[in-house]
Amino acid sequence: MNYVAILEHNADGWSAYVLDLPGCTSWGETREAVIRNIRDAIESHIGVLRERGETVPEANAVPEIVTIAG
């Protein structure tokens, strides 16, 4: 499965969240670290959903860069 993770850079490093998995977030000091961490978070999140017998949301988000003038 391919989930879209949104990465944000801030003063403390990088944070990430997954649009199709509410509550699935992670953090890392570098971009590479947050990508590794969010991958682990996704796998753990899905594992918990399955253990609870809950439905695993489909990966529906589609990335698109939108450019505006200004």
Cα–Cα distances in Å, from 23 out to 48, 65, 68, 69? 12, 23, 30, 33
Region 43-47: mean pLDDT is: 98
Length of the chain, in residues = 70
Among residues of the chain, what percentage have pLDDT more than 70? Answer: 100
Closest CA to 5 of 48, 28, 51: 28
Distance of alpha carbon 21 from the chain centroid: 8
pTM of the model: 0.90
Region 40-67: mean pLDDT is: 97
Among residues of the chain, what percentage have pLDDT more than 90? Answer: 97
Residues 26, 21: Cα–Cα separation, whole Å: 12
List, for residues 10-43, the tens digit of each pLDDT value: 999 999 999 999 999 999 999 999 999 999 999 9
pLDDT recorded at residue 70? 81
